[in-house]
């Protein structure tokens, strides 16, 4: 009998990084070493601890990383609590990759890119950002605007400081919601910061974060003259199968797990407002 | 046309069940019909339809997907799938037969669901033409002719005999396998029976129900309709409609700790349930209105949008007779299409 997508592979957690007080980044490889499967930036995987739960997570590492996959996971439920409590060496189950991806090899190619992330919303965009950095010649200007509640809540802060901010080929703008000791950077919400930065409307935008942040960011971008066809986001809904059959992530005639999670805002406009 | 006298039906059932499992509708003590595995001496029900649909045969209410053995930090994945044995479902009505082709569009779409396909490959569907459709029937609305049912092979009852017609190779193989029990018969009386059934259908209360005002292009109009509030007001969210529905196919995946390992199950689920879309950060369908709307929008708009206009309903009428508050897809269609 053929393999069935509902039967998962085994992954081994080889590294756990405490990114923020409630976000950890897990490095996963196959038991034989190397990646369990290949993916494109924006795609997701179903991770599970049998008996605890199974849920969809975006793959935060870039496909250009040939050694392992990474998942940045916020502690907020039964399964994620368990994942946060486990130690290096733990095996998990993993299946995927699921969903479409950011169109890095088609629509985004050659474009000036503006990444806007809030909180854990950086996780899916980090895959794209590092993919773009590793294929730098294929893209125009790259700007990242990233904000969180506080400095401590900036996911992947070390990589941002050590690699992205040290990279002369990308511009990084960080912000936190409230003033904090030891922070001399920008203070304020992401949507406002984007408006202050006045990005050129020639850019193509990739945005991910809490729904409220996305809503105000999109409104701000429109004020600046951006159109919905220029802005991509990635969505999250409850999922069980990952292949458009179990019915959970159905909105209109789309299934977020298979037709998404990446949508352009003009595509979202055609769907019922139910996400 | 090949036929068998109804008085000899049990000989046929004995012969079929000697080679493979045979399932047919049988009357329960309470008078309702349900599919049972045939054992010698059982009588086939003459009820119009079974309480539960026939979808269980290919998409069972619960099934074991995979097992896990947990040892320390290690996990072993155990594939529990077994090749299905061949089986025959006899006496399936036209509505349920059509539901299989609708379920096929979901489960046989890439990536193919191997659990479903395995059963589909091994199952032979032998349908039974309807002779006296009931008040809750509206299969005709969805282009189904209950007097000429689909399925691998179809049976027709003229009162005294059952006639057989193959619809495909699998059905022909079934008829060939029982050929020694069949004889050539005159089907003239069948036409009369069919005419009678069609005459009944014309007079049924739902005979004029049409899908004309539904389909993939109605998304915005119907999603934003103000009618959903009244329609869903009394819905209990019990999910009965979903469970008796032959085309509802939403499912849940849950793990069960046996004490010796973990069994992962797939179970029927319902978009009518409050926790269906609930996530750690909230629920996009907060009230029964949204959940109720989802079920009907899916059947009447979203499914046809993705499947060349085919609707996610076969008009079997089970939800009409089972809903505790007497709400159903017919009332929804009638309410929505009034401008």
In tens, the pLDDT along A258-271 reads: 999 999 999 998 89
Q: Please give, rounded to a whole number of angstroms, the shortest distance from the CA of B177 to a CA of chain A.
A: 27
User: Which tens digit of pLDDT belongs to each residue from A196-210?
Assistant: 999 999 999 999 999
Extended strands (E) in chain A: 9-20, 23-29, 44-49, 53-58, 69-74, 91-98, 113-118, 142-148, 170-176, 186-187, 204-208, 231-234, 250-251, 254-255, 262-264
What's the token pair of residue B212? 């004309």
Asked if B155 and B144 count as a contact pair (C-beta separation under 8 A), the reply is no
Look at B253 and A246 and tell me if their CB atoms are within 8 Å.
yes
- Position B51 pLDDT exceeds 90: yes
Query: Residues B276, B269: contact at Cβ < 8 Å?
Result: yes
CB B272 within 8 A of CB B242: yes
Helix (H, G, I), strand (E, B) or coil at B25: strand
Distances (CA, A) of B95 to B28, B51, B100: 21, 13, 9
Question: What distances in angstroms separate CA B264 from CA A80, A257, B73, B79, B293, one per listed residue?
Answer: 19, 21, 19, 11, 30
Q: Give residues with Cβ within 8 angstroms of B317, minimum separation 6.
A: B49, B134, B135, B136, B137, B138
The residue-averaged pLDDT of B103-124 equals 97
Q: Which residue has the tokens 């965009």?
A: A125
Rounded distance between C-alpha atoms, residue A17 and residue B41, angstroms: 67
Residue B338 has pLDDT above 90, yes or no: no
In angstroms, the CA B26 to CA B38 distance is 9
Q: Taking the CA of residue A3 as centre, how many other CA atoms within 13 Å lie in the half-sphere pointing to its CB?
A: 7
Q: Where are the domains of chain B?
A: 2-203, 216-337
Inter-CA distances, B216 with A197, A248, B197, B245, B330, Å: 42, 19, 32, 21, 18
pLDDT at B317: 96
Q: How far is CA B284 from the centre of its chain?
A: 29
Which tokens in the block code for residue A208?
A: 């991910």
Owner of token pair 């979903």 = B242
Q: What is the pLDDT of residue A2?
A: 62
The overall longest dimension of chain A from CA atoms, in Å, is 60
State the burial class of residue A2 (Cβ atoms within 10 Å of its Cβ: 0-12, 13-18, 19+).
exposed
**Where does the pLDDT of residue B180 fall: very low under 50, low under 70, confident under 90, or very high at 90 and above?**
very high
Supply A96's token pair: 């995927």
Q: Is the pLDDT of residue A255 over 60?
A: yes
Check A93 against B79: CB less than 8 A apart: no
Preferred mutation among A23, A248, A258 to probe B, highest tally of B CBs within 10 A: A248
Q: What does pLDDT average to over chain A?
A: 96
Residue B73 has its nearest CB partner, among A1, A5, A90, at A90
Over the stretch A2-20, which tens digit does the pLDDT of each residue have? 689 999 999 999 999 999 9
Distance CA A100, CA A169 (A): 27
Chain A positions in Cβ-Cβ contact with residue B297 (cut-off 8 Å): 272
Q: Is the pLDDT of residue B187 over 90?
A: no
Looking up tokens 């950890």 gives: A24
The set of residues, in sequence order, having a beta carbon less than 8 Å from that of B323 and lying 6+ positions away, is B240, B241
Burial of residue B186, with CB atoms counted within 10 A of its CB: 0-12 exposed, 13-18 middle, 19 or more buried: exposed
Tokens of A196: 């202050």
Q: Give the pLDDT score at A1.
A: 56
Q: Is the model's pLDDT at B286 over the cut of 90?
A: yes
Q: Which residues contact B327 (CB under 8 A, 6 or more apart)?
A: B231, B232, B234, B235
Percent of chain A at pLDDT > 90 equals 95
Residue A274 to residue B75, Cβ atoms within 8 A: no
Contact B268, B251 (CB under 8 A): yes
Q: Quick one: average pLDDT of B36-60?
A: 95
Of A2, A87, A240, the CB nearest to B253: A240
Retrieve residue A130's tokens: 């590092």
CA angle B23, B105, B240 (to 5 degrees): 60
Residues whose CB is less than 8 angstroms from the CB of residue A208 and which lie 6 or more positions away in sequence, other chains included: A116, A117, A118, A121, A122, A123, A124, A125, A214, A233, A234
Q: What percent of chain A has pLDDT over 70?
A: 99
Which residues from chain B sit within 8 angstroms of residue A53, using beta carbons? 255
The pLDDT of residue B244 is above 60? yes
pLDDT, residue A273, reads 84
Q: What is the ipTM of this complex?
A: 0.92
Q: Which residue has the higher pLDDT, B137 or A274?
A: B137
| Six token digits for residue B106 | 């979901």
Contact A51 B262 (CB under 8 A): yes
Q: What is the separation, in whole angstroms, between the first and last Cα of chain A?
A: 37
CB–CB of A241 and B276 under 8 A? no
Q: Which of B114, B216, B280 sits opposite A77 (nearest CB)?
A: B280
Stretch (H or E) spanning B23: strand B21-27
For chain B, what is the mean pLDDT? 95
CA distance B291 to B268: 16
Cβ neighbours, 10 Å, residue A182: 6
Angle of CA points B128, B134, B135, to nearest 5°: 155
Whether residue B280 is predicted with pLDDT greater than 90 in this model: the reply is no
pLDDT in tens, A145-195: 999 999 999 999 999 999 999 999 999 999 999 999 999 999 999 999 999
- List domains and CATH numbers for chain A: 9-98 (2.40.30.10), 113-234 (3.40.50.80)
pLDDT at A153: 96
- Mark B106-131 as b/e (b = at least 16 C-beta within 10 Å): bbeeebebbbbbbbbebbbbbbbbbb
List, for residues B298-335, the tens digit of each pLDDT value: 999 999 999 999 999 999 999 999 999 999 999 999 99
CA–CA separation, B214 and B300 (whole Å):
6
| Closest to A173 (Cα-Cα) out of A182, A164, A181 | A164
Judge contact between B99 and B310, C-beta under 8 A. Answer: no
Reduced to 3 states, what is the DSSP secondary structure of residue B113? coil
* Whether pLDDT at B142 is above 60: yes
Distance (Å) from the alpha carbon of A77 to chain B's nearest alpha carbon: 6
Distance CA B115, CA A206 (A): 38
- Shortest Cα distance, chain B CAs vs residue A200, angstroms: 33
Q: pTM to 2 decimals?
A: 0.95
Interchain proximity B118–A1, CB inside 8 Å: yes
């Amino acid at each position: 009998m053929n393999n069935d997508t509902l039967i998962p592979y085994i992954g081994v957690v080889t590294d756990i990084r405490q990114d923020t007080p409630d976000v950890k980044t897990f490095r996963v490889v196959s038991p034989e070493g190397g990646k369990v499967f290949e993916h494109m930036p924006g795609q997701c995987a179903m991770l599970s601890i049998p008996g605890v739960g199974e849920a969809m997570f975006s793959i935060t590492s870039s496909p250009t990383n040939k050694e392992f996959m990474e998942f940045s996971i916020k502690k907020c439920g039964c399964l994620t609590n368990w994942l946060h409590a486990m130690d290096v060496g733990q095996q998990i189950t993993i299946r995927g990759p699921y969903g479409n991806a950011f169109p890095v090899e088609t629509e985004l190619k050659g474009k000036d890119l503006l990444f806007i992330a809030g909180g854990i919303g950086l996780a899916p965009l980090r895959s794209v950002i590092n993919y773009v950095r590793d294929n730098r010649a294929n893209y125009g200007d790259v700007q990242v605007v990233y904000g969180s509640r506080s400095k401590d809540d900036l996911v992947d802060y070390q990589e941002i400081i050590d690699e992205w901010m040290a990279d002369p080929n990308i511009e990084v703008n960080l912000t936190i919601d409230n003033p904090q000791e030891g922070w001399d950077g920008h203070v304020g919400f992401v949507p406002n910061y984007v408006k202050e930065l006045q990005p050129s409307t020639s850019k193509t935008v990739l945005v991910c974060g809490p729904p409220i942040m996305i809503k105000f960011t999109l409104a701000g971008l429109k004020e600046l003259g951006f159109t919905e066809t220029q802005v991509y986001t990635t969505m999250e809904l409850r999922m069980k199968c990952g292949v458009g059959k179990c019915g959970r992530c159905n909105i209109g005639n789309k299934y977020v797990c298979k037709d998404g999670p990446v949508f352009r805002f003009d595509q979202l406009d055609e769907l019922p407002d139910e996400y | 046309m090949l036929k068998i006298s109804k008085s000899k039906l049990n000989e046929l059932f004995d012969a079929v069940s000697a080679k493979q499992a045979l399932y047919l509708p049988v009357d329960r003590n309470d008078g309702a019909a349900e599919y049972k595995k045939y054992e010698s001496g059982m009588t086939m029900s003459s009820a119009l339809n079974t309480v539960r649909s026939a979808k269980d045969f290919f998409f069972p209410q619960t099934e074991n997907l995979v097992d896990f053995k947990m040892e320390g930090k290690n996990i072993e994945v155990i594939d529990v799938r077994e090749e299905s044995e061949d089986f025959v479902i006899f006496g399936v009505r036209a509505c349920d037969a059509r539901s299989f082709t609708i379920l096929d569009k979901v489960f046989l779409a890439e990536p193919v669901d191997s659990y479903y396909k395995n059963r589909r490959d091994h199952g032979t569907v032998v349908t039974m033409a309807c002779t006296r459709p009931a008040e809750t029937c509206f299969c005709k609305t969805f282009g189904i002719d209950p007097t000429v049912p689909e399925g691998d092979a179809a049976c027709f009852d003229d009162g005294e005999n059952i006639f057989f017609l193959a619809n495909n190779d699998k059905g022909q193989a079934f008829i060939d396998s029982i050929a020694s029990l069949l004889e050539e018969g005159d089907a003239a009386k069948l036409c009369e029976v069919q005419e009678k059934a069609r005459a009944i259908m014309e007079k049924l209360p739902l005979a004029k129900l049409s899908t004309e005002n539904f389909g993939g292009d109605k998304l915005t109009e119907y999603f934003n309709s103000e009618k959903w509030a009244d329609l869903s007001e009394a819905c209990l969210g019990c999910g009965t409609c979903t469970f008796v529905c032959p085309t509802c196919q939403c499912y849940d995946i849950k793990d069960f700790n046996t004490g010796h390992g973990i069994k992962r199950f797939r179970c029927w689920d319902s978009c009518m349930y409050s926790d269906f879309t609930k996530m750690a950060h909230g629920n996009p369908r907060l009230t029964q209105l949204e959940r109720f709307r989802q079920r009907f929008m899916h059947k009447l708009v979203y499914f046809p949008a993705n499947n060349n206009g085919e609707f996610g309903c076969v008009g079997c009428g089970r939800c009409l007779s089972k809903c505790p508050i007497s709400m159903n897809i017919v009332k929804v269609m009638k309410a929505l299409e009034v401008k």
